[in-house]
Structures are given as C-alpha cells and as structure tokens.
Chains A and B, each alone.
Chain A
Amino acid sequence: MSRGKAAAVFTLTRDATERTVKIARDAMRNPKEQKDTTRDAGSAFSTSETLVLDERAWEEFVAALESPPREIPQLVELFRAKAPWD
C-alpha cells in the first residue's frame, strides 16, 4: 500500500473512531437516555423466559434445528398475500 493510500485509510479510520466515541460520549452525557437504556437492558434480562423441554421434545427440537431449511407452502402463500395494511 502506498503511503498516500495508507494515510487516507488512517484518516478515514480515525474519523470514524472519533465519530463513534463522540456518539458514545454524548449518550453517556444524557442521563435520561442512560437511565432508559439501563432500565430496558435490565428489564429484558430479568424477563427473559426459559421454555423447558423434556427429553423427547428436546430431541425433536434439536433434530428440527439440524435439518436443512425447508419451505412451508402455507407460509409462502401467506407471504405472497396482501395484508390489510399493505
């Protein structure tokens, strides 16, 4: 890479980094946003549910996970249809 190109890349990278840092710093400066983010993150973690599957259900679920993707005809039809809000 030529020195000119390297300098240009460095400038772009530095600019992007500075912009990112500024966004992060501004977010930290905003107490409301910081509070909301913290609350949302805490809430999301505290309310995440665990669906417990027994032996047979677990095996079935894992088998479905490992099988190749398949198209579901009724879903294809639904995706092609026009919704009331389309």
Chain B
Amino acid sequence: MEQGDIYRAQRFDCGVVVLNDWLQKHAWPSHQGGGARVYVAVETAQDLIAAYFCLSAAQADHAVVPLRVSQGMGQSPIPVVLIGRFGVDTRFQGSGLGRFMVRHAFEETLKTAQWIGVRAVMIDAKDQDAANFYESLGFTASVNNPLRLFIMIKDVKRSLAVAAAP
C-alpha cells in the first residue's frame, strides 16, 4: 500500500461497510505503523482499488492452557499469519481476482516464513459464502467453528513446488 491509495480507497466498495470503512480510515495508519501490512490491487485504467487484504502476525493457542500443561502437552502457542481483512470491490467480484489475492497472500507469507517461524495461515471468514470461497482454495474449516479456517504452510509450499515442476 502507498500513500496515494488513501484517495483511491474512498471509492472502494466491496458491499461490506466494515471492510470499506477499515480500508478508508484505518488501513494506512495500520500499514504505516506496522500493525498490519496492507496489500492492494489497483486497477490502473480507472485508478481504483479493485481488492485488498492485510496480513499480520498472530498465534494460535489453546483455550485452556492449564489443561494443556496438566496433560503434559508442552506445545507453545503456534505462530501463524492472519489474513485480517479481505475485500474485493463489487465491480470486480466474480472475475477471479479474489483467488489471485489469496495466492498473493500465500506468496508473501512464504517469503516471511523464510525468516521467521510461521506454521499456518488463518482467517476468520465474515460469512459462510466467504468460508466456502476459502475452502475452495484449500483452507480447512475448524471443526467447531466453520468461519475460522486454516491452511498449513507446508501444504502451500508443497503445492507451489508441484505447480513449479515441469
């Protein structure tokens, strides 16, 4: 994201007010401050943001830590990358752009995973349609929360290697 995207963001509309609002008001400060990295796809002909997502560091942990300890499971919280927000402008929905934005999120995460520990990518889908979309790309819905999905980095890496093979 660049500073000029602040102005482009004002015309962004993905049909979800909270996602529009975040991009228009909070994305740049978050990006600049390092709380989240915001990635935008700019449609150059119309000079507008066609889609965006943000990535941030997160960790997955057990709800009942004392139980984990009592059972002798010494696992620490597991480092993951969180796709915090994800939106495609209504003018570009159905074009397949969203799939490539997810791919780009994976590519950026793989780069990060070369330098720091990352075991999985997680996302909280806004509704069941969104969850179905992520599942169609290989995410797995959590066993008792269909809107929380994850995918293992090792599986992304393996898929990329297979894709790159001649």
Residues on A lying within 8 angstroms of B by beta carbon are 39-41, 43-44, 46-58, 60-62, 64-65, 69-72, 74-81, 83-85
Contact = CB atoms under 8 A, between A and B. Distances in A.
B contacts with A: majority SS:
mixed
A43 B31 CA distance: 10
- In order of increasing CB-CB distance, the 6 nearest A-B pairs are A79-B163, A40-B34, A72-B138, A47-B35, A75-B159, A69-B154
B157 to A, nearest CB: 7
A78 B154 contact: no
Interface string B90-134: 000000010110111010000000000001101000000000000
Contacts of B151: 72
Given A56-B143, A58-B62, A51 B137 contact: no
Contacts, number: 134
21 contacts: A39-B33, A43-B34, A48-B58, A49-B58, A50-B59, A50-B61, A50-B77, A52-B63, A53-B61, A53-B62, A58-B62, A61-B150, A65-B78, A69-B152, A69-B154, A69-B157, A75-B159, A79-B159, A83-B100, A83-B103, A84-B100
Contacts of A72: 137-138, 151, 155-156, 158-159
Interface size class of B (residues with CB under 8 A): 35 or more
Nearest to B61: A50
A54 B61 CA distance: 9
A51 B155 contact: no
B16 interface: no
B61 A52 contact: yes
Contact of B103 (A39, A50, A61, A78): A78
B97 to A, nearest CB: 7
A74 B137 contact: yes
B158 A70 contact: yes
